[in-house]
Amino acid sequence: MATQYLMGYVSHLIIETANPYAKKLKKQVTVRLDEGTIAYFKNLAEEKDLPYQSLINLYLRDCAQSHKDLKIEWQ
């Protein structure tokens, strides 16, 4: 009896504490970046007191939201 009550309580807690941001969670990816690019973002992140991966994410999100177009010139 106590076990059934406890299981009901635990399942109730799980439902009540479900992550409301679950659809906004980040996906882990692997990206190859130049050492200079990483150094740039690490230095900037240190100045802004942010993790550098979060700063890169913010920058890329800003580019995507503003539909920023990349200008490429091969030399």
Specify the pLDDT at position 60: 96
Considering the entire predicted model, what is its pTM? 0.64
**Whether the Cβ atoms of residue 52 and residue 41 lie closer than 8 Å to each other:** yes
Specify the pLDDT at position 75: 74
pLDDT (tens digit, 0 to 9) for every residue of the chain, 75 residues total? 555 555 555 555 555 667 777 777 888 999 999 999 999 999 999 999 999 999 999 999 999 999 999 888 887
Determine the straight-line distance between the first and last CA of the chain, rounded to whole angstroms.
Answer: 76
How many Å apart are CA 18 and CA 68, to the nearest integer? 35
Average pLDDT of the chain is 84
